[in-house]
Copies of this chain bind each other. A is one copy, B any other.
Amino acid sequence: MDERVPRNFETLRTTILERRQSLPKRIAQIAAYALDNPDDIAFGTAASIAASAGVQPSTLIRFAQQFGFDGFTSLQLVFRERLRERNSSYDERLAALRAKAEEGAGHRAIFDGFVAAASTSLNDISGRLNEDHFEAAITLLAKAETIYVLAKRRSYPVASYIAYALGKLKIRNQLIESAAGLNAEMISFASSRDAVIAISFSPYAPATIEEARVISEQRVPIVAITDSSFSPLAQFAKVWFEVAEADFAGFRSLSATMALAMALTVAVGEKRRDTGGKGKA
């Protein structure tokens, strides 16, 4: 009999499929599990995998031996190698986009650069959102009578979209935008029954920070979206989110911030509907 040890995942896979019919019941069970959950094999321990697959650890070892390995450990190496090698197509594509963009191949490259930056940012935030903070922010905002939205300059587009969406959801809101002197007055109306969404990224617009400070002194709770824990916004905020946006050509993406902002807004709208109407519960 041909007693080659499958050195790579594909060979192993083929071998397993070939012999599938003639395998003992429990061994076949593991075989199926292994092909369905290769990541678990790569990371798990013999005991944990065996439990997930519904067999005994010893059976797992028999499975490995059946296919010419000398134990579970060497079988596992194949599954780990696979993970190392299989560089995700997504990241490759992104890297390619970025590379093309960076070598400056015309205007198309600029476009690719911005698409790549946006994708990267989204990808990033998707794994990074702190759910507790998210829930806390929603709860806080859902209770507010009026939601003030505070952002300048680069962050202003996000604020204006939040204001638009809040309006559509019939949630009372006030955009604090004007570069003129009306802000101070607007802010002075805010009370602890209201709430603020403040957005600012480095270099932080001084006006945003100052207004956030004033408003926090009025005991209005603040939800901040910013870019690091050292952000001056963070210290005034009840809840804050760290969003790392990738940049291109000196302009940072807004896609992650936008996605977070939209999610917050819609979630607040939903929560209000559930708890029956606006204002403090």
Contacts and interface: CB of A to CB of B under 8 A. Distances in A.
Interface in A189-236: 228-230
Contacts of A249: 266
Contact of A128 (B10, B89, B168): B10
Interface string A131-153: 10011001000000000000001
A119 B108 CA distance: 19
Give the number of times this chain occurs in the complex, counting copies. 2
Given A88-B89, A157-B161, A164-B154, A129 B107 contact: no
A122 B128 contact: no
B108 A131 contact: yes
A115 B122 contact: yes
Nearest to A229: B2
A267 interface: yes
A89 B157 CA distance: 32
A41 interface: no
A259 B158 contact: no
A14 B267 contact: no
A67 interface: no
Chain A interface size, under 10 / 10 to 19 / 20 to 34 / 35 or more: 35 or more
A255 B110 contact: no
Contacts of A124: 10
A111 to B, nearest CB: 4
Contacts of A112: 126
Interface stretch (A26-34, A58-66, A79-87, A178-186): A79-87
Contacts of A267: 107, 110-111
B126 A115 contact: yes
Interface in A88-134: 88-91, 93, 97, 107-108, 110-115, 117-119, 122-129, 131, 134
A174 interface: no
Given A14-B244, A80-B43, A122-B119, A129 B111 contact: yes
A263 interface: yes
A94 to B, nearest CB: 9
Interface of A: 2, 8-11, 14, 18, 39, 43, 80, 83-91, 93, 97, 107-108, 110-115, 117-119, 122-129, 131, 134-135, 138, 153-154, 156-158, 160-161, 164-165, 168, 228-230, 242, 244, 248-249, 251, 253-255, 258-260, 262-263, 266-267, 270-271
7 contacts: A39-B84, A39-B87, A86-B87, A108-B131, A157-B161, A255-B255, A255-B259
